[in-house]
Amino acid sequence: MTAPRDPFFPADRSIRASEKPIEVHNLGLMDYQEAWDYQADIAAKRARDEVADTILVVEHPAVYTAGKRTQPEDMPTNGLPVIDVDRGGRITWHGEGQLVVYPIIKLAEPVDVVDYVRRLEEAIIHTVRQMGVTTAGRIDGRSGVWVPSTTQASDPAASQRDRKIAALGIRITRGVTMHGLALNCNNVLGYYDHIIACGIDDADITTLALELGQEVTPKDAEQPLLIALDDALSGRMVVADHTFGSAPDPIKLANEKARKARAQSSLSQA
DSSP string for residues in 12-78: -S--BS--SPPEEEEEEE--HHHHHHHHHHHHHHHHTTSS--EEEEEE-SSEEEE-TT--GGGS-SS
- The answer to whether the annotation marks 169 as part of a ligand binding site is yes
Q: Which of 6, 232, 191 is nearest to 96 (CA)?
A: 191
- The answer to whether the annotation marks 146 as part of a ligand binding site is no
- The answer to whether the annotation marks 233 as part of a ligand binding site is no
- The answer to whether the annotation marks 60 as part of a ligand binding site is no
185 given a catalytic annotation: no
- The answer to whether the annotation marks 180 as part of a ligand binding site is yes
Return the amino acid letter for 94.
Answer: H
Please state whether 199 falls in left (phi above 0), alpha (psi between -120 and 50) or beta. left
- The answer to whether the annotation marks 90 as part of a ligand binding site is yes
- The answer to whether the annotation marks 132 as part of a ligand binding site is no
Question: Which of 125, 147, 198, 225 is flagged as catalytic?
Answer: 198
Which ranges of 133-249 does DSSP label H, i.e. alpha helix?
Answer: 208-212, 218-233
- The answer to whether the annotation marks 182 as part of a ligand binding site is yes
- The answer to whether the annotation marks 142 as part of a ligand binding site is no
CA distance 164 to 208: 10
As a whole number of Å, the CA-based R_g of the chain is: 19
Q: Which residues are catalytic?
A: 198
Annotated binding-site members: 87-94, 167-169, 180-182
Annotated binding-site members for substrate: 87-94, 167-169, 180-182
